[in-house]
Amino acid sequence: MLQLVDVKGRPALAFAGLVIVAVALAVLPFVLTGIGTFWVRITNLAILYCLLALGLNIVVGFAGLLDLGYIAFYAVGAYVYAMLASPHFGLHLPFWIILPIGAAVACVFGVLLGAPTLKLRGDYLAIVTLGFGEIIRIFLNNLSQPINITSGPQGIARIDPFRIGTFDFSRTSSILGLTFTGPMKYYYLLLVVLLVVIAINLRLQDSRIGRAWEAIREDEVAARAMGINTRNMKLLAFAMGASFGGISGGMFSAIQGFISPESFILVESIMVLSMVVLGGMGNVWGVVIGAVLLSFAPELLREWVGPVQQAVFGRTLLDPEVIRMLLFGLALVLMMLFRPAGILPSALRKRELETRRTAG
Partner 1 sequence: MAAESTTLLAAEGIGKRFGGVQALSEVGFTIRRGEIYGLIGPNGAGKTTLFNVLTGIYAPDGGSFTFDGRPLMGLKPNEVAARGIARTFQNIRLFGNLSALENVMVGRHVRTRTGVWGAISRHRRARDEEAGIQRRAVDLLEYVGVAPRAMDLAKNLPYGFQRRLEIARALATDPKLLALDEPAAGMNATETASLEALLHNIRRDGTTILLIEHDMKLVMGVCDRVLVLDYGRRIAEGPAAAVQKDPAVISAYLGGDVSLNLKGA
Partner 2 sequence: MDIFLQQIVNGLTLGCVYAVVALGYTMVYGIIQLINFAHGEVVMIGAMTAYSVIVALTGAQVPLPPVAIVLVGALVAMPVCMGVGYALERTAYRPLRGAPRLAPLITAIGLSIILQHLAMIVWTRNPLSYPQIIRQVPIHLTGNPDGATITNVQIAIIVASVMMMGALLALVYRTKLGIAMRAVAQNPSIAGLMGIDINRVIALTFVIGAALGAVAGVMVGSYYGIAHYQMGALLGLKAFSAAVLGGIGNLAGAMLGGLLLGVIEALGAGYVGELTNLCRLSGWFDALAQRCASDPNVTLFGSNYQDVFAFIVLILVLVFRPSGLLGERVADRA
**Using CB under 8 A as the criterion, which residues of the chain lie in contact with partner 2 when the complex forms?**
64, 66, 68, 116-117, 120-124, 126-128, 130-132, 134-135, 138-139, 141-142, 145-146, 221, 266-267, 270, 273-274, 277, 318, 322, 325-326, 328-333, 335-337, 340
- Read off the DSSP letter of residue 247: H
Q: Which does 210 bind (CB under 5 to 8 A by kind): partner 1, partner 2, none?
A: partner 1
Q: CA-CA distance, 50 to 295, in Å (whole number)?
A: 9
Report how far residue 1's alpha carbon sits from residue 22's, in angstroms, rounded to the nearest whole number.
10
The single-letter code of the amino acid at 303 is E
Among 85, 204, 294, 335, binds partner 1 (CB under 8 A): 204
Does residue 315 interact with partner 1 by CB under 8 A?
A: no
CA–CA gap between residue 209 and residue 255 (Å, rounded): 33
Distance set, CA 333 to CA 291, 326, 329, 342 (Å): 17, 11, 6, 12
- Only one of the segments 25-33, 78-86, 136-144, 198-206 lies at the binding site for partner 1 (rule: CB under 8 A); that segment is 198-206
> Using CB under 8 A, which of 126, 236, 273, 277 touches partner 1?
236
Q: 59 or 156: whose CB is closer to partner 1?
A: 59
359 lies in the binding site for partner 1 (CB under 8 A): no
In the complex, least distance from residue 93 CB atom to partner 1, rounded to whole angstroms? 26
- Of these partners, partner 2, partner 1, none, which one is at the site of residue 207 (CB under 5 to 8 Å by kind)? partner 1
Among 97, 164, 222, 267, binds partner 1 (CB under 8 A): 222
Among 254, 273, 122, 129, which Cα is nearest to 193's?
A: 254
Contacts of 84 (CB under 8 A, 6+ apart): 91, 93, 98, 101
Cα distance between residue 192 and residue 222, in whole Å: 38
How many residues at the interface with partner 1, by CB under 8 A? 31
Distance of CA 111 to the CA centre of its chain: 19
Residue 232's CB: how many other CB atoms inside 10 A?
A: 11
Does position 339 interact with partner 1 (CB under 8 A)? The reply is no
Burial of residue 170, with CB atoms counted within 10 A of its CB: 0-12 exposed, 13-18 middle, 19 or more buried: middle
Residue 228 contacts partner 1 per CB under 8 A: yes
Q: Which is nearer to partner 2, 13 or 112 (CB)?
A: 112
Burial of 2 (C-beta count, 10 Å sphere; 0-12/13-18/19+): middle
Q: How far is the CB of 319 from partner 2 (least distance, A)?
A: 9
Between CA 68 and CA 113 the distance in angstroms is 12
What residue 117 binds from partner 1, partner 2, none (CB within 5 to 8 A, per partner kind)? partner 2
The least CB distance from residue 336 to partner 2, in Å, is 4
- Coil, helix or strand for 211? helix
Q: Which stretch binds partner 1 (CB under 8 A): 11-19, 27-35, 210-218, 257-265?
A: 210-218
| 294 binds partner 1, rule: CB under 8 A | no
- Smaller CB distance to partner 1: residue 177 or 360? 360
Decide which of partner 1, partner 2, none touches 204; Cβ closer than 5 to 8 Å per partner kind.
Answer: partner 1
CB of 360 to partner 2, least distance (A): 32
DSSP alpha helix (H) spans, the chain: 11-35, 37-56, 71-84, 95-117, 122-142, 182-205, 208-218, 220-225, 230-256, 266-279, 284-313, 320-338, 347-359
- Closest to partner 1 by CB, 315 vs 357, is 357
Residue choice 9, 116, 165, 227 for contact with partner 1 (CB under 8 A): 227
Out of partner 2, partner 1, none, what residue 124 binds, judged by CB under 5 to 8 A for its kind, is partner 2
Q: Please say which residue, 60 or 78, places its beta carbon nearer to partner 1.
A: 60
193 binds partner 1 (CB under 8 A): no
